[in-house]
Every structure is written in C-alpha cells, then in structure tokens.
Chains A and B, each alone.
Chain A
Amino acid sequence: MRIALYGKGGIGKSTIAANLAAAFAMRGRTVLQIGCDPKHDSTRLLLDGRRATTVLEYLRDTPPAQRRLADVVYRGYGGVACVEAGGPEPGVGCAGRGILSAFALLDQLGLDSTAFDVALYDVLGDVVCGGFAVPLRAGYADVVCIVSSEEFMAIYAANNILRGVRNFEQAGAQVAGLILNSRGAHESPAGVQRFAQAVELPILATLPRSELFRVAEQQGKTVVEAFAASSEAAGLFGLADALLARPPLWPARPLDDEGLEQVVLGNAWQAPGGAAPGQATNGGKSQESTSGSPGVLDAIAPGDEEATADRQPLLASSHHRRTNGTAEDQQPTSDALPIPAHGAAYVSKFARGGAPPVTPAAPTSATGVHFLSKSVLFREPLHGCAFSGAVGTVTHIQDAIVIAHGPRSCANLAGQTLQSSGIHTLYREGIAIPEQLAPNLLSSDMDEAASIYGGAEPLRATLRRALDRRPQAIFLAGTCPAGIIGDDLRQIAADAAGEAGAVPLIPLTTDGNMAGDYMQGVINACIEGAGALVDPRCPPEDNLVNIVAEKNIATNTEPNMREVTRLLEQLGLRVNCRFVRRTSVEALRGLLKAPLNLLAYNDHLGRVLQAFLVERFGATFARQPFPVGFSETVDWLHELAAFFGRPQRAEAVIAQARSDYLRSIEHIRTGLAGRRLMIVTYNHDIDWVVESALDAGMDLVKVGILNSIEDHGFRTRYNGQFAVETGYTPDQRDADIGRFAPHLLLSSYTPAGAILPLHCDTIPLCPDVGFFSGLRLVQRWATLLKAPIYEGWRNDHVLVASDHA
C-alpha cells in the first residue's frame, strides 16, 4: 500500500505521517516514509529528532558515480526507512521541481516502494504544481489521505487537493478519506463533516488535540513510540489498522468555490442528492454520487482538549533517550548505529526480492550502472542540453516523428543545430541529408498558459498531428519548462497508446538539460529511443556490419561513411544499420542482423553505446573504431578480415595503400624533416597525425591537450616520444611557444593576436578516416611552411577594437 498524505501547510501532516509509520511498523509491516516538503522534517520524529541528509542535498554534493541509495535512506524507529526529499529555502528556486528531481534520483538509485508493505508520502501543502503531484503519479501513491482541521482554509486546501487528485484518477478512485486533526474542543467539526459529506468522503479518523504530541516531539519521538499505551496512540493505531484493512477508495469530487463556502460555513447546505449548493464538481459539471455516501470511521471521537504537536514549530534537535510511555511488547529493536550506516543496512535488506523494477528516469544498464555523459559523470558545466542532443539523434530515424514538448524557441534551437549541420554538409561536401535539412520535428508550442496550467493538452494535440502523418514511431522529448512544471511525458504517452495503435510512442529522458548535457541526450536517445526499437530475436546474417556512435553534427560524417563503405566493400561487407544516423525504424528493428558492430569513435559516447549494446543485446564489437591514419587503417582492416575470414582481400588493399603512402611521404620529407611541431588540441587521440609527422621526419616538441566535453583520457602508442600535458591552458601555450620555438603550431583554433612568429594550422576536431588522413594534413604543411610567417592582413589587427573576454 502506498499512501500519499496531503493537507494544508502546518496542519500536522508530518506528525501524523511519522506516527502512522511508527504504528504500521508496530504492526509488523515494513514501512518507507518519504518526506516531500522542502523543510525536510517529516521523518525527524522517527530518527530521534535527528536530521537526515536530503536527497537534493545529496544530489548537489555527490558525483553521479559515487551515489548510493544507502546514503539517503535512513533506518528509523521500528525499522522505518526514512527519506527526505528536501528543497530550497522559501522564496527561491522551485520546490516542485525539487520533488521531481528527488524522485528521479531515487528511481535511478533503485528505490522500490513496492518492496515495502507500506510507503507513506508526506507531501507539502496543496497539490500546487506538477512537482508536488509526483506521489500521485502512476507508480507511486495509490491511496490518498487528506489531513484537515476544522478551519475553513484547511478545508479549502483539502478541496483544492481533491481537484489535483482528480487529474490523476485515470486508473481509478484513489481517495481513502479525510483525517481530521482537531484544533481542540472549542472548534466545531460540523464544517468539515459537512464538507466530507458534500464530497462524499469518509472521515477516517479524528485526532484530538493533545499535549502528548508536544511532549513526544520534544523527545524527538512519535506518540506511538513515546506514549504507546496512551489513548492518542490507540487512535493512531486504529487509523493504521483501518488503512491496512484497505478501506474503499472514492473518486475525488471537489466542490466549486462558491459551493465550498456555503457548505463549510453552513449556508443552506443540503446532503448530496438534494441538489444542494456546493454540489460536487467534475470538470465543472455536477456529478451524481455513484455508490452512496461512505460512512465515517472515527477512530477517536472529537472533543479531546489538548494540542496536536504539529502546529508548533518542530524543535531543531532532540537527543533525549527513550523515556516513559513505551509499550515494551510492541517496541521493535531500535537500530542504534549512526544514521548514514543504517541506510546501507536497511537498503540491503529491502533491495532484494522480486519487486517489479522501477521505471528508469535515465538510461540504466541491467546492472544498475547509468549510462552517463562525460560532463554529467564528472559534474562539469553542461554544454548544450539533453533535449537538443536527443532531438538531434532521433530525427535521424527517417520514418519517425519527434515531438519537442516546450516553447517554440526550444524546438527552433534544436532544429537550427540540425539544419546548420545539414547546410554545411550540403555546401562543403555536396551531400544532402534530408534528416537534417528537413527534420521530422514538431513543436508543441507550449505557451504561457501551459507553463502555468500544465502542457498536457498542447502535447496531446501535437501527438494527434504527428499520428495524422502516419509515422512508424513517435519520440517525445521534453524541454526545461516542461520538466520544471512536471509534465509527465511517460504518462501522456501511455494514455495515448490506444490512439497510436501499432505506432510506438517513446518518451525520452531529457527535461531540457535537467537530464544532462547534449551528449547525455544523445545517449538517452540512442538507448531509450533507438534501443527500444531493436528486435532482440533477430537472427544474424553474414557479411553485415553496423555502424555505432557517429557524430551527427560533424560535417565530415558522410564523407567518412563513404570512405568506410568503400573499404568495407573491398572486403565484401555491407552496412546493415547506422546506430543512430540516417536510419529507419525497420533498420533499427533488424540491428542484430549484423554479427559485428563498428564504432565510429572510441570516445566517451562510443564506449557508452558499446557497453549498452553489449550488455543489452550481447552485441559483438570490433576492437578498433573507424581508423584514422595509415597504421590504424591497416589494423582495422586486419581485424575485420580476421572476423569475417577474408585476410587476402585485406592484404591486397593494404599493399596498394602502403605503396601510395610511402611515395607521398618521401616526396614531402625534404621540406619537413627536422622542423619542430607543437600540437594544442581538444582531441584525445592524435596518433593519426603524429604518425605522418614523424614519418615525415618532424620533431614533435610538445602536445597540450585541452579539456573536452566529448572525451577524456589522452592515449597514444608513441608513449615517451614527446612531451604531453593534459588540462592545458592558453597561458601554458604561450609559454611553451617561447620555450620550444616550434616552426609550426597545430591547434584546434588559430591563436588570436600577436604571439611569437610561427606558422599555425588547425587540426580538425573530427578527422577524416582512412589511410591518408594524416598524410593529407602533413602534405599541406610542406607548402604552408613556405608561406610568409606573418601574413599582411594581420597587421590590420590594430584597426579592430579589441573586445576580448
């Protein structure tokens, strides 16, 4: 049973939640309590008054690779698993978004609420936005209890909560009833009773105002723990028993505002069926009672005098030992270990068992390891957004449509990235890529109203537009605004599945950049999007290879593909599917036809996708990525030829290329031998150019590796033959130029301004593949070094106002 406890702020929800959790535990149930209030004091009374590290604090302070569920799940009284979501200080940030982020992390870390007998969600105030509705979403709470007092504003909030609940009732009624947390004997319960009748809900329990709550709270304990034999505890046990008995659930039938006032304030109220003011509403229309009024299940009669505790500010800490009032016969063994260690023990206890897996909030491997981009993994500033990366990937599936859910600017920016790459490829290489020039991309055009009231409707309308075009698949990618307001793309896709028929609707984990950077979006799109289409039963065929992890926004991707295709054809091989570029739903379904997969790049993305395909489908990969430069191409061809059993073909190709290469190198050697070369680059693998430079007799004096979002871990087979420095900076560059006086600086960007006189050339971020990529660059230097070191146009530097950062 998973219970969400809602109610107006300060009404006593947390005290009731903690007491209920304790009572459930006393009844021998395994219990999880998640506090969903930024003030993160929901579980304090279960933890001897101590404060748990919140999920959001943990998310902020802990690198992804080091995150463990045990660090945020604490064992409290009675073995209750305690989690605090946390959130921002009042007045800043977005607490609702915090709840979304916290639940996403708990999902990622594998917290499975269904493994507990009871999960309790203690939720802040009203259902104020999508974030606070998280517990109501599919997969979380299935029972809603609303806490109210006799005050009008508390009842008003309860009615608002019913409005929110109604939006999540697709799977059926969810409301168990009201819990009246009384303000004392001086307050009349009549208003709340009339409200309960009007909305056709039972009052599950009436909890009296009692001094015991305050005393227990001062001890950092629940009443159930501190005064287990008291009548107050008995009432809480009664409520727990009533809930464990699985009371009937009722649909949410909120009143309109005018009716609410009339009902609660006692004006002209009539019972349901009497067409009274304050008729229960359903989408603005009156609704007939379906099953008669539920009864009232008062655990304790109203009228007890003393205060409930939660109306007082909770004390910051309490280190009292357990004192009086405990019921030894019900007292579980209290775990006395320090708090963080409890989590580990607890989680290990509950992580086992056959509980269904949670829906992953980010692509996860079968072993629970997340496929993360480098920036996310190392918590670097995020370059670009997951939304754009995902859009830029799945738009390469020709017969699919991608829906960008958010403001038009987001779809436009993602589309611009695609089109820009397509335009450059068209004009530089003469190759048209329709997937980029005319991407199958629709925007839900989320407007101001959607940002306030939720964007489900514009998204559904866009889905219908997409379905009208009869695509083979539809992908949904959400933007930051959609993620912040908590639009649930998975639920919307699930709801529309019937309308879509055989067309798969595939939501991608993006939420703008909240799922990560551009590369994380690429990863998620490959794994959740394209990966979801792969038919795992497809039998392999001979002579086929797949291409994996090409760079979709590099302008030489197609020329590279042509060169690779040419080399493959010389071995008698064909490309089956490109994962994910210029492909189709059908080709992705048949991905496993190819017995061998070829990485385009052995960078971070390549390694992640390889790990995914190996783990998920048992795919086989060639050891080497697309070959760049002579030696790599030789090795690559040998490896492929060995795999497919055709070594003679490879040797013939290599022999011809070797002859051409050596002849060319010999020709340029006279101009380059002994010249000093220095390289400063983002590339982490430059052997392809180093090889040709050394073959031409150049002296490589220094290599400086700049930090890159795409790769890390410089690698070379020329260890010890030249000086290498990673994490390189421009200041180091200028100093090294002075120190080594290179004849040629090869750099990702030509340095601006006046530095020491030397020749400069640029090294491509994504080099061409094949035998001759290094050779072509080195051939250029033979002529470049004959040019004047300092071109005339540079003298006009003084004419341009300097505006450097």
Chain B
Amino acid sequence: MCSLPLITPDSFSGAILAIEGIADAAVLLHGPTGCKFYHGALSERSFARGDALDPLLYRSEFYFGQARVPATYMDGHDYVFGATDKLDRLLSIAAGRDHALIALVNAPGAALIGDDLERVIAAAGLEAPCLALENPGYSVSFTAGFQGALRQTIERLAPPPLPVVARQVNLLGLSLYQRHWQGSLDELRQLLGLCGISVGATLSAGSSVAALRSLRAAQVNVLVHAEYGDELAAWLRERYGMAWLLPRYGAPIGFDATEAWLDEVCRAVNADPAPGLAAVRAARRLSYEAISRFNALTGLPKGATFVLQAEGSLAYPLTRWLNYYLGMTPLAVRLSDETSAYVQPLREYLVAINCASAWGADLDERQAPDVVVGSQALIAQARSSGRPVAGVEVALPGGSYLDVLPKKLLGAEGALFLVEQVLNGLYRQVL
C-alpha cells in the first residue's frame, strides 16, 4: 500500500483557532477532552501568553493542566442528559480571568445534543462579551470555520462607526495555524510602516478585542491569506461598506509576490511603495550574494526538485517563486484546500512550465524530491524513507524545533529565510 494523504483539520479547529488568535479572548470548549488537548497545546505553542508551563498550575476543573481551551470534559452521560451544569461552572471560573471576549464552542458531538449555550451565557451575566458557536461544522474546510467564527465575533462586538484613518489598513487572513505567523505579521507591519501605512486590526492572529472594535477606522481591508479572509472581507463590505483588496498573486511570500502585494496595497491607500520596495531590494541583494556563491560551487538550486503542499494563497506564489526565481522544478504540488481560488492560476502555471503532472501528484518513491515544502508532518514523511530530503516548513503541524527568534515566512526577510532554508538543505545533500 502507498501512503494515504494526510488528513487536514476542518472547520471545528478553524473556529477554535480563530478565537484563540485574539490575544485577550478565550475559547471555552463544550466537549470532551479529546477535542481539547490538541487545540490547547497548539494555541499555547503558537501564541504563548502566560508564564512558564507548569501543568500543576492549571489543575482546576476544566483546564487539565493546560492554560488554554478549558473544556467541559463531556462523557457518555453528558451526551444523554446534557451538561449545562458544567458550562455554568466553567463560565463562572472564566469570568474571573479577565478575558475581554469569551467564545463557547460546541465540539462536534456536543453540537448534536443541543445544549442551550445562549441560555447559559445569559444566565452567567458576564461583563465580557460572550458568544456561542453552536455548530462548528462537520468536515467543512478549516477556513470556513475560521471565517465563520470571526464573523460571529465581529457581530457580537458590533464595532461602532469611526472616522476613517488615512493609510490605515486591517490585515485579514492571519491565523495561529500559519507557521511563523507572528514573525510574518511583524515583517508586514514593518514594510507597510516604511510606506507610511499603519495596521489597525489583524483578523485574527495577534489582534486584540479593542483593535477589532476599532476595525472600522481602517481605509481598506487587505487580505494576506485569501482563503482565511475572503468571505469575511466581502461580508465587512456588505455590512459596513469597507473596501477590501485581494492581491493578485496571493500572499506576499518570496520577493516577487511581496513587491506586487506592497505595490497593490500602497495603490489602494494612495501611499508611496518606494521605501518598502527599497527594503525588498536590499534583501534581494543579500539573497543574490548567497545564491550566486552557492550556485557557483554546486550549480544549485537550479534544477533541484521540490514537492510542495500548502494552502492556495501560499502555494501559488511559492511555486512561481521557487520555479522562476530559484530555478527549481516541481514534482508535486498539492493544496490543503482544493476549493481555493488559486487552483486555476496554479494549474495554469504548472502547464505553462511543462509540469502539469505535478498537480496533485503523490510523493513518488521512485523519484525523491530534493526539497519538501510544507508541514513538518510532510517533511518527516518524506524523510522516513531514509532519503536525504531538505525540508522547508511553511505550514503546521510543526516539528520539535523550538523557535526562539521569531521567524518570518512573508515579506522581504521571509524570502531571505526561505532562501537560507533551501540553500542549507541542499548544501547538506551535496555534502
């Protein structure tokens, strides 16, 4: 038997991580611990907000040693008789934790029995706004759950009309489930700042409830990862008349897409892109110096092969960039969500470079790639055969490497990080 495809998360995880991305918000999970532990660990690891990890400090009912995503630990009895009594207790504990927003999220099983979350919320009388995500969806895409939860959050927060601040944008489509989201966000703020553009709210990773309440001050909603924000942007336009921008080449990953993204954003808010583009050029120079020397000794990275699996907004610009800029050839390109708007342009690009067979191809045991670009699970899978595969992590789930210095995938410095990863990965193989 050949390997089965990795199973991706669905809207349930999307909803939880949308809320957990808001710095001062908290998800309270109505469901079993089996639905809690992974999300609690992922939230903590992607966005550490507390002190050191000592599970004994989180020993109160519902927390099970984790700082994030407390749960009502539903069991068979609760599925029959309901568990609103646990919800009442959990809300009373959460009320004492200074959360600026609380979301009660039903696990898939809990959603079937219909405990009345709204009644529990009303009875709790919390000061913080509280919303109920009654149905997280079943096998619906992660991004649908993500955007749905944010839409409900904004509806609950009801951001008031504010005077629009010139050259202020909101960034949509940022999630804790994106590798190195925090470093990438810092990089985008930096580049936009060079162009005189400020960032208001980020939806949702790294945002705060206060920033979300002020989101109507932004001139434009700019998409970073389209699949995490396109429906939300359209809804914000319909609801609040906010303009939105869907950059043509996807997320600003690699030099070319970053330049295009910056240029488009600056046009949208009437800002000068030159300072930002200058920063990208400076990075290009560093990149050139490294690649040219490496290439002189090895002939690489030109002709190196790669397998890539990521979401469309990353996969499209990254495939183009790895191919056009670094001269690498795709053996397999797979999207985590095949309903992405980038499916068509990506397939057209693969056809144009005579690599149509790479679309959706499996990892081929006969033709090992030089570089695997994707989650650590994908990279480890490729390495488990014993082949010396270079890995470039651009998606979660991550590996065991502990990032201390925030890494960047997006923007100019993100491109440098990617070049560094590719060159060093290939270098180890050459050696």
Contact = CB atoms under 8 A, between A and B. Distances in A.
Interface in A354-403: 381-385, 387-388, 399, 401
Contacts of A186: none
B56 A751 contact: yes
A514 B54 contact: no
Contacts of A411: 7
Contacts of A413: 9, 34-35, 38
Grouping DSSP codes into helix (H, G, I), strand (E, B) and loop, the B interface class, with mixed when no group exceeds half, is: loop
B399 interface: yes
Interface string B280-315: 000000000000000000000000000000000000
A762 to B, nearest CB: 11
Contacts of A59: 76-77
Interface string A70-95: 00000000000000000111001111
Contacts of B367: none
B52 interface: yes
A385 B34 contact: yes
A706 B55 CA distance: 12
A60 B77 contact: yes
A749 B56 contact: yes
Interface size class of B (residues with CB under 8 A): 35 or more
Which interface class (under 10, 10 to 19, 20 to 34, 35 or more) fits A? Answer: 35 or more
Output the residue of A383, A445, A451, A480 with the most chain B CB within 10 A.
Answer: A480
A803 B384 contact: no
B128 interface: no
A97 B12 contact: no
Interface string B100-133: 0000000111001111000000000000000000
B10 interface: yes
B32 A448 contact: no
Contact of B38 (A416, A433, A471, A515): A416
Given A384-B34, A469-B1, A408 B109 contact: no
A803 B67 contact: yes
A752 B138 contact: no
A298 B32 CA distance: 52
Given A480-B107, A512-B109, A805-B67, A401 B79 contact: no
Interface in B51-92: 51-60, 63-64, 67, 70, 73-82, 84
A410 B55 contact: no
A368 to B, nearest CB: 21
A753 B12 CA distance: 34
Interface stretch (A337-345, A424-432, A671-679, A695-703): A424-432
Interface string A231-243: 0000000000000
B80 A56 contact: yes
Interface in A95-111: 95, 97-98, 101
A388 B34 CA distance: 8
A698 B136 CA distance: 55
B248 interface: no
A796 B255 CA distance: 37
B138 A446 contact: yes
Contacts of A446: 138-139
B380 A409 contact: no
A437 B377 contact: yes
Given A92-B115, A101-B80, A805 B58 contact: yes
Contacts of A88: 80-82
Given A388-B34, A408-B9, A805-B63, A485 B397 contact: no
Contacts of B64: 381, 383
B12 A426 contact: no
A751 B54 contact: yes
Contact of B34 (A422, A448, A518): A518
Contacts of B139: 407-409, 443, 445-447
Instruction: Give the one of A408, A415, A427 with max B CB within 10 A.
Output: A408
Contacts of A751: 54, 56
A407 B108 contact: yes
Nearest to A417: B38
Contacts of B376: 423
A801 B49 CA distance: 8
A442 interface: yes
B37 interface: yes
A284 to B, nearest CB: 25
Contact of A432 (B9, B77, B386): B386
Given A413-B38, A432-B386, A87 B52 contact: no
Given A387-B34, A438-B3, 7 more contacts: A89-B81, A413-B35, A423-B380, A447-B140, A469-B1, A805-B63, A805-B67
28 contacts: A56-B81, A93-B80, A94-B114, A381-B73, A382-B73, A385-B34, A388-B34, A404-B7, A406-B108, A409-B136, A412-B7, A413-B38, A422-B384, A423-B376, A424-B400, A427-B380, A427-B399, A428-B400, A437-B380, A438-B6, A445-B139, A448-B137, A448-B138, A480-B107, A514-B75, A729-B59, A749-B53, A805-B60
Interface of B: 1, 3-4, 6-13, 32-35, 37-38, 49-60, 63-64, 67, 70, 73-82, 84, 97, 107-109, 112-115, 136-140, 376-377, 380-381, 383-386, 397, 399-401
